[in-house]
Amino acid sequence: MVDSDYKLPYGGYNIMADKNIIHVVGTGTIGEPLIGLLCDAKEDLEIDEVTFYKHSPILTDRPKIKGLTTRGANLAVRNDKVKDFQELGLEPMYGAEEAIKRASVVIDCTPKGTGLMNKEKYYNKYKNKIKGFLAQGSEFGFGKMFAVGINDEAITPKDKFIHIVSCNTHNMAVLIKTLGIENKKNHLKEGRFLCLRRANDISQVKSFIPSPEVGTHKDEKMGTHHAVDVHHLYKTLGINLNVFSSALKLNTQYMHCIWYDIKLDKKITKDDATQMFIDNPRVAVTYKTSANLVFSFGREHGHYGRILDQTVVVIPTIHVANENEVIGFCFTPQDGNSILSSITAAERFMFPDSYEDKLKCLGAFLLQEV
């Protein structure tokens, strides 16, 4: 982005300085549904305005932008691209930097590295005025890591920059929390995870692969970044996890799937583990073993196809070995879990004393069974 002093067609800077404005930067796989959900739940979440930044004026993206503005979000673009958007029949309401400036909370949903760049160039400039900034999965180093229901107590009023962890990190984190953490005590002896990733999202045309592609282990101690991230997430609570992950990509567009092997320092039965998953409100359970059935269920019963659970645990795959080791499979609701953590953190910035009540409106998308 570049600085932009594009003059508003509808007023001046900060006309809504005392209003609650959420600004989303990026309209991709995560940005688009996030903007949509914020608009749909605007009233319950007590948001006065949702604004979003669109980077490229692309003809095929026109219906997406029109759809989002019809749902109530206001478009911001770079000053030097206003004309290009106008030529597409789209009327930007704010300049890129101006939209940041007037926001209460900024949620960055751009590709790897861009969020950090935006922080340096723009967000730091306004950090005393804006309540908080969030960035997504790939922006390691943006701020304190967060996943709702996992490390809420680690976030303090000093944390203006929050890094919402990736979808698979949410999934691994909730498996560990459900089975291994009891009253803040860590019972996890060792956690091993295999992330079976979908090649690309159904919204993307690039990066599909013709056959499974295995990943290397870049981290000497923990394998792939998934274990590294979950380790750092729990570190915010002072918990040191012994975890290792591997990853591979599958030639599918549907869902990520995770194989887990969670070894505890205490005995556990298959019935105990099953009940613990059922009892966790952030976990959906399923008897379905096929990703397309789980995905399709979300399409019917989620918000525009998305369920907001952190994982979908496949009950028939739960297996207990050596009386202390739980092994099984689960599916990752890929963007739903990050979206819920993003909205939670944004609401918390704006309403530190009452955000939990406001978030109840999203409860319908936290399914208990799929």
Q: Tell me if 196 contacts ligand NAP by CB under 6 A.
A: no
Nearest-approach distance from CB 337 to ligand NAP, in angstroms: 8
Closest CB to ligand NAP among residues 199, 326: 199
Closest CB to ligand NAP among residues 310, 338: 338
- One of 24, 30, 233, 343 touching ligand NAP (CB under 6 A): 30
Closest CB to ligand NAP among residues 242, 253: 253
Taking CB under 6 A as the criterion, which residues in 105-164 touch ligand NAP?
Answer: 109-112, 114, 136-139
- One of 151, 334, 342, 344 touching ligand NAP (CB under 6 A): 334
Nearest-approach distance from CB 133 to ligand NAP, in angstroms: 14
Stretch that binds ligand NAP, among 53-61, 152-160, 281-289, 342-350 (CB under 6 A): 53-61
Stretch that binds ligand NAP, among 49-57, 84-92, 217-225, 259-267 (CB under 6 A): 49-57
Give the distance between the most distant pair of CA atoms in the chain. 68
Nearest-approach distance from CB 102 to ligand NAP, in angstroms: 17
Closest CB to ligand NAP among residues 49, 108: 108
Closest CB to ligand NAP among residues 200, 296: 200
Nearest-approach distance from CB 238 to ligand NAP, in angstroms: 26
List contacts with ligand NAP (CB under 6 A): 1, 25-31, 54-56, 109-112, 114, 136-139, 166-167, 201, 334-335, 338
